[in-house]
Amino acid sequence: MIKRHNPIRPCTGVWLLLVLLTLVTYGIGEAGLGGIEVVFLLLAMVLIKGQMVADFFMGLRRVRLRWRILLTIYLLLVVSGIALAYLMGIK
Amino acid sequence: MSATFTKSMARNIFYGGAVFFFLLFVGLTFDTMQVLPKRDHRENITPEVVRGKHIWETRDCIGCHTLLGEGAYFAPELGNVYKRRGPEFIKAWIKAQPTGAPGRRQMPQFHLTDAQLNDLVAFLKWTSEINTNNWPPNIEG
Amino acid sequence: MAAPAVGFFLPATQAIMNASTLDKDVNSAMPPGDFAIWIFIYAELLAFGIFFLAYAFTRAHNVELFNASQLSLNRESGAINTLVLITSSYFVVRALAAIKRGRQVFCVRWLAAAIAMGGLFVAIKLAEFHAKFSAGISLHTNTFYMFYLSLTIFHFMHVLLGMLILGFVLFKAHRGHYSAEQHAGVETGASYWHMVDLVWIILFPLVYVIR
Amino acid sequence: MQYKSQAVAKPYFIAAIGLFTGQILFGLIMGLQYVVGDFLFPEIPFNVARMVHTNLLIVWLLFGFMGSAYYLVPEESETELFSPKLAQVLFWIFLLAGAATVLGYLLVPYATLARMTGNNILATMGREFLEQPLPTKVGIVIVALAFLFNITMTVLKGRKTSITLVLLIGLWGLAVFFLFSFYNPSNLVLDKYFWWWVVHLWVEGVWELILGALLAFVLIKVTGVDREVIEKWLYVIIAMSLITGLIGTGHHYYWIGTPESWLWFGSVFSALEPIPFFMMTVFAFNMVNRRRREHPNKAATLWALGTGVMSFLGAGVWGFLHTLAPVNYYTHGTQITAAHGHMAFYGAYVMVVITMISYAMPVLRGRAANSERAQVLEMWSFWIMTVSIVFITLFLTAAGILQVWLQRISATPMGFMATQDQISLFYWLREISGVFFLVGLVLYIASFFIKGGKTVSA
């Protein structure tokens, strides 16, 4: 294996990213923000966080594509379903 | 990289999953038992209603009718028959059976006394007042 | 909020991008751990997914009710619990990394830390439930609380099950059943725990934040 | 036959097929009563015919399960049955009790039967599928416990395999959940709530374990695929069955007075119930495709594959059709339910018992497989019965859709009987399909008596 030079382990980086995104999510909640743009941002963060957990924590980035993509499809379906439902609720 | 799929893990998941979901089911049952009194109005279960249910059972009414949608699908739904027909019609109808109309479905004659008919009606009345989440969709059952 | 974000974000992204090119033992493998757990994981995710969508679409028909009831939720405890679970997941990753390098003692310690975080989650969650139940809120208060309580209790039970599994893995690690070569059991438990984390990552914004 | 004591299974299988025939005959009577209302009235009213039809089904499936267990367990445990004598005695007790019960239904008015059999001491009768008099119910428990004792002791003294373990859990669960049939509170809602603990936790719970174990056993025998592989999938499939099916009970708790939250629990989890059945189909085909030997008993293989497909269609697809609460609101208690019930019972439980009989009976009669002519006839009977049940299901579904439309959705809803008149054509078509089913069954029975051709020795 190539000798690593990055300052932090990849999993630590992911962890920091997840913490950050969670704080942003919380901040949005505290600010009482709503509306399409905010919800889409929140859902985008869910997508990123979910994929990070799948790839780096669950270790799916190193497995056959079909098992990895299954979770990606799952996240996409759930998130887009939630988005669709949100849009329906606006009317 | 371990690409395993072992029988013992499958077995553990079977045991774990079964116990987990059975406990969940028991928990939900417990919760249901807490709120049922508000929905079944058990304070209205009089001795007449109790006797009426016994008559309902010992005549095997469920063998042709449905009650709250469960039973046989040969004869009308009776969960809401009290609201659909009223007490007098029900009693008169039971007394008049069988119709003997050729080729039509027949209901047996059960030789119920007036007191028994009243009990049965009391049971059907209590049943019609259960909170069934608005089922059936209309009065026809 | 933006300034510290960049400070975190850059090294983190860099690390991630480097990482994906680092590992060369790639792309032909099955998911880590016993595949049986993965069938279970996919099935559980499916159940949660359907429940999430049911929530979202029911909300669409009762926006006012959901928005009003959501205000009564304790967002702090939800957010803290998210951090707790993420961190716990991270500890499990470290435990797995430790055993892969043959460091059994570290593996045990990281696992213990992960379980402790799970315990913290449970404690916070119990406090949250206690507050709700003492306020007279139950599954039958309204549709929002039905979903809120079902989803969180269902997830809560998964946390307990996950802790049980991790505890079992810890026990075996402590007994020296795992090594740098042989650690499928750790991977199996870890995968399940990450699933529990993943579900909460969707649940928190959906139920506590989105409005 | 590897173990002498396996022979006790034979009378069980014969009784099962005999009672199956009775079930179908009464089914035809009921089917005709749907369109010629006064047929056989007042001699055999519809409710009596229905009791006989459904109770015979339960009893013959139990005969089938017990026979299968007596055949399977010694072979899996690699030891003789703990007590073949007990098995023989239980056979006669169960058969006589079953026959007496059916005669009771047919000869005595139900209210009189209830009085005669002590229903006033402990009222348990008059609930769908649990119509049996108290002595019969007690008898079922005693026979079941004695049977379980026999089987469990056999397993304990011999080799323990995953298949016997799963079978035992299923059979013990069957006995335990039957105990809820003795609980009959005067509160109808409670009564119904725990009635489902017998009915649902049987057919969508523990019976699926029995189904899985029997199917796995036959697949090991006819395909020669590694036991490890088959048992592994067995565990995964039954795990899925219970994970989805336990909370899935909720799909019966929509409209019987239970709280609204069940609309959600029931819908979400029962929507997943097709998964284990789908896995079972894939599993059966996979194993047969990966077979390591060409077993001479082609008919048994066909039944095994049929079980996979038909249980998925009947229990999985037809169950899913009306399991979601918003759909079930309109379809609950209509012919749609009847359609699902017929195909699910045939596809899952009837077929798995016949699979077992088809595999074991030739062995019990001293050959690995029947002659080719007999097998060809058996396979004809497979197709005729299966296609007939598909048509019965389709016609009942059509009847159900029309019924829902006229009686429940239409702006001017029709009454129940007026609706029934409108859909009588479908009932006629169902009855004709039923006659074809009987023809299939007769051919099936005939296949046991076909001699000649070359037989493969055991």
More confident residue, D272 or C16: D272
Contact check, Cβ <8 Å, D263/B133: yes
Instruction: List, run by run, the mean pLDDT of 10-residue segments along chain A (91 residues).
Output: 65 95 95 90 96 94 89 96 94 68
- Tell me the chain C residues in contact with residue D264 when contact means C-beta distances shorter than 8 Å: 51, 54, 146-147, 150
- Size (chain D), residues: 458
Structural domains of chain C sorted by starting position, each given as residue range(s) with its CATH number in brackets: 77-210 (1.20.120.80)
Contact D353, D445 (CB under 8 A): no
Q: What does the domain layout of chain B look like in residue ranges?
A: 1-39, 41-141
pLDDT category, B52, cuts 50, 70, 90?
Answer: very high
pLDDT value at residue D206: 97
Determine whether D31 is exposed, middle or buried from the number of CB atoms within 10 Å of its CB (0-12, 13-18, 19+): buried
Average pLDDT over residues C83-90: 97
pLDDT band at D455 (very low <50, low <70, confident <90, very high): low
Distance from CA of residue D186 to its chain's centroid? 29
Is A83 within the bounds of a domain? yes
The residue segments making up the domain with residue A79 are 10-90
* Mean pLDDT of the residues in chain D: 96
Contact D128 B110 (CB under 8 A): no
**CATH match of D1-160 with 1.20.120:** yes
Residues facing B77 on adjacent strands? B66
Looking at residues D20-43, what average pLDDT do you find?
97
Mean pLDDT (whole number) for B114-128 = 98
Mean pLDDT along residues D180-186? 97
Q: Which of the two residues, B90 and B3, has the higher pLDDT score?
A: B90
Q: Establish if A86 belongs to a structural domain.
A: yes
- Average pLDDT (D375-380) is 97
pLDDT digits over B30-40, tens only? Answer: 999 999 999 99
Mean pLDDT of C7-34: 57
Report the residue from C36, C47, C139 with minimal CB separation from D261. C139
The two three-digit tokens of residue D317, written as one number: 């697809």
The token pair that represents D442 in the structure block: 């007769």
Catalogue the E-assigned strands of B37-125: 66-67, 70-71
Alpha helices, H only, B59-113? 81-85, 87-96
Number of domains in chain A: 1
Q: Which residue has the tokens 């079909």?
A: A66
Cα–Cα distance measured from residue D84 to residue D80, given in angstroms and rounded to the nearest whole number:
8
Size of interface A-C (CB pairs under 8 A): 194
Residue among A76, B28, B107 at smallest CA distance from D247:
B28
Chains C and B touch (3+ CB pairs under 8 A): yes
What letter represents residue D274's amino acid?
P
Q: Identify the pLDDT of residue B4.
A: 83
Chain C CA closest to residue D260:
C140
What 3-state class would DSSP assign to D254? coil
Is B64's CB within 8 Å of D46's CB?
yes
Mean local confidence (pLDDT), C83-96:
97
* Sign for the pseudo-dihedral over CA of A60, C36, C166, C187: negative
Q: Domain ranges for chain D, please list them.
A: 1-160, 218-450
Between B57 and D454, residue with greater pLDDT: B57
In tens, the pLDDT along C101-134 reads: 999 999 999 999 999 999 999 999 999 999 999 9
What distance in Å separates the CA atoms of residue D192 and residue D252, rounded to the nearest whole number?
A: 9
Q: The tokens of B118 are what?
A: 């009243």
Looking at chain D from residue 63 to 122, which residues have their Cβ under 8 Å from any Cβ of chain B? 110-111, 114-115, 119
d(CA D350, CA B52): 37
Rounded percentage of chain C residues whose pLDDT exceeds 70:
87
Q: Closest to B5 (Cβ–Cβ): which among C36, C140, C187?
A: C36
- B131 contacts C140 by C-beta, under 8 angstroms: no
C128-158 per-position pLDDT tens digit = 999 999 999 999 999 999 999 999 999 999 9
Assign residue D158 a region (left: φ > 0; alpha: ψ between -120 and 50; beta: otherwise).
Answer: beta
**A14 in a domain, yes or no?**
yes
Q: Which of C25, C36, C154 sits opposite B13 (nearest CB)?
A: C36
A88/D281 Cα distance (integer angstroms): 38
Per-residue pLDDT band for C26 (boundaries 50, 70, 90) equals very low
Closest C-alpha among D193, D197, D334 to residue D253 = D193
**DSSP character at residue D147:** H
Chain D contact residues (CB < 8 Å to C): 232, 235-236, 239-240, 243-244, 259-261, 264-265, 267-269, 271-272, 275
A3 lies in a domain? no
* Domain range B41-141, CATH class: mainly alpha
3-class DSSP state of C162: helix
* Residue of D264, D323, D324 to mutate, testing the C interface (most C Cβ within 10 Å of its Cβ): D264
Please state whether beta strands D456-457 and D367-369 pair in parallel, antiparallel, or not at all (unpaired). antiparallel
Question: How do residues D287-337 score in pLDDT, each as one tens digit?
Answer: 999 999 999 999 999 999 999 999 999 999 999 999 999 999 999 999 999
In this predicted structure, the answer to whether residue C9 has a pLDDT above a threshold of 70 is no
H or E stretch including B44? none
d(CA A57, CA C32): 11
pLDDT confidence of residue D452: 63
Token duo for residue D326: 């918003």
Shortest CA distance to D303 belongs to which of D182, D413, D386? Answer: D386
Sequence-ordered alpha helix ranges (H) in D78-187: 84-107, 110-116, 134-157, 162-178
SS3 B101: coil
Report the percent of chain D where pLDDT is more than 90.
98
Question: What tokens were used for B69?
Answer: 């949608």
| pLDDT value of position A35 | 87
Give pLDDT, residue D208.
97
pLDDT in tens, C34-51: 999 999 999 999 999 999
- Best interface-test mutation with B: which of D256, D328, D330, D431 has the largest number of B CBs within 10 A? D256
Q: Is B62 helix (H, G, I), strand (E, B) or coil?
A: helix
What's the confidence (pLDDT) of residue C25?
47
Peptide bond into D274 cis (omega under 30): no
Q: How many CA atoms within 13 Å lie on the side-chain side of D84? A: 14
CATH for D218-450 is 1.20.210.10
Candidates C34, C35, C38, C50: best to mutate against D (most CBs of D within 10 A) is C50
Give the pLDDT confidence score for residue A10 in this predicted structure: 87
Tokens of residue C191, six digits: 């995968």
Separation of alpha carbons C154 and C138, rounded Å: 14
CA distances from B103 to A38, D32, D39, D40, D289 (A): 68, 11, 7, 11, 53
Q: What is the mean pLDDT of chain B?
A: 95
Tell me what percent of the residues of chain C surpass a pLDDT of 90.
Answer: 85
